[in-house]
Chain A
Amino acid sequence: MPFNFTVSPDFAPDHMSGWFYFNTWLQRNLGTDIHLELFDSFDAQRDAIKAGQVDLIYANPYDASMLVRELGFKAVARPAGKKDEAVIVVPANSQAEAVEDLEAGVRLATTDDPDVHTIGMIMLEPADLDASNISQKDYDTYILVAKALLRGEADVGFFLKQGFDELSDLIKKQMRVLVSSQISVVHHALLVGPQMQDCMAELKALVTQMHKDEKGIGVLESMGIKEFESMSTEQTEFMIDLIDTLTI
């Protein structure tokens, strides 16, 4: 039976093939069979996780708590310098100059990306806004969130900061960032499940060295990651504690 690997569904579409290259690279270097399964939504991925169908995951920080504390996953590595930050964006002609100018009834465009949504909602709190007094619509991608704003279908949108920065200048010019999170300790992580922990040390050594290897560099580039750095148990627990405080 091969191990099962999956990637948080919020990866940039441009990097999809990169995750397949990574899986091939891993199999070759670990000398073991690994099957990569990608999911369209976080819910579908969580169902597979709960059904025990995942042994290795590049996880969204929001899901790390369930994976580590309920299902016994362990952190191997994190992408160096890559933090999950969120931005709250309005159309350029919006009356709002600050979050506090937004009012009850505001129409929010967001995605099912759980960490960006959580951080976005926290940044709306200073305006006394929460799920009970806004109207929210979920979109599949950040491009679609941007379109909803430009078409006047939404008053405010949540983006992964990197997702917003990667939009074309033409689109970005028609929008304005109201607030940008600066949390810096929330990020994705590569986690291994109980069935695969026998090869955890080898896996950790491999991925944290791959930026020193010519083939490895190419694979990292195709995933949009500079290098994997080792992540300790305590760093993982700290990040989970922090996210726990954000989910109430």
Chain B
Amino acid sequence: MSEKDTGSVSEVLIKYFGGDERLAKIVDEEVPYPDGKLIVSRTDPKGIITHVNQAFVDMSAYTREELVGANHNILRHPDMPAVAFKGLWDTVENGEKWQGYVKNLRKDGKYYWVKATVIPNIRQGKLVGYTSVRRKPSRSKIRESEALYETLQ
């Protein structure tokens, strides 16, 4: 999909913020964002997935059952710098909206880029979780993000 894709397959150790690790299959092949759709998920205050829409299921290549109850870092791609997610969490824990470009990892090892917005869900003054809605990003923003994230690794 992207001109630079090589289709190469590798195994990469992903190290999560909380100390966990996972050996993931990485395929250098982009899956295009579906036109006109929004990819939606919600989490509890700790980032455990509580709801996904059909577009989320389709793009992630996981089943709904595998997603609900899982930590949202199930989608973390090793090309994403940890500092990007620190920014996300610092922002939303502060009660504000976060927006950014994210490269996500599918169950089959392929990837997809999104423009994501995350907002806190406040009910009767209390934080009950977070909602993220993704839209289709432009190619130029993807290129900018690739360049930026490389320097942040």
B26: interface (CB < 8 Å): no
> What is the bound-complex CA distance between A179 and B136, given in angstroms?
12
Q: Count residues on chain A whose CB falls below 8 Å from chain B CBs.
A: 23
Which among A3-11, A38-46, A52-60, A239-247 touches the partner chain?
A239-247
With contacts A128-B140, A128-B141, A237-B121 taken as known, whether A245 is within 8 angstroms of B37 at the C-beta atoms is no
Most chain B CB within 10 A, of A99, A123, A185, A241, is at A241
Q: Is the CB of A182 within 8 A of B36?
A: yes
A154, B118: Cα distance in complex, Å: 34
State in angstroms the CA–CA spacing of A39 and B42 once bound together.
Answer: 36
Q: Mark out the residues of chain A between 109 and 131 whose CB falls within 8 Å of any chain B CB in the assembled complex.
A: 122-123, 125-128
Q: Which residues of chain B from 121 to 151 have any CB-CB distance to chain A below 8 Å in the complex?
A: 121, 123, 131-133, 135-141
Contacting pair B35 A238 (CB below 8 A): no
**Chain B residues with CB below 8 A from A128, complex form:** 138, 140-141
B133 touches A125 (CB 8 A): no
Residue of B nearest to A86 (CB): B36
**B25 interface residue, CB < 8 Å from A?**
no
Secondary structure type dominating chain A contacts:
helix
Interface pair B37/A182, CB less than 8 Å apart: yes
Contact between A245 and B117 (Cβ–Cβ < 8 Å)?
Answer: yes
Interface contact A126-B36, CB-CB below 8 Å:
no
A residues contacting B by CB (< 8 A) are 98-100, 122-123, 125-128, 179-183, 185, 237-238, 241-242, 244-246, 248
Q: List 30 A-B contacts (CB under 8 A).
A: A99-B35, A100-B139, A122-B135, A123-B136, A125-B137, A126-B33, A126-B136, A126-B137, A179-B35, A180-B36, A181-B36, A181-B37, A182-B37, A183-B37, A185-B40, A185-B53, A237-B121, A238-B42, A238-B131, A241-B119, A241-B121, A241-B131, A244-B97, A244-B119, A245-B117, A245-B118, A245-B119, A245-B131, A245-B133, A246-B117
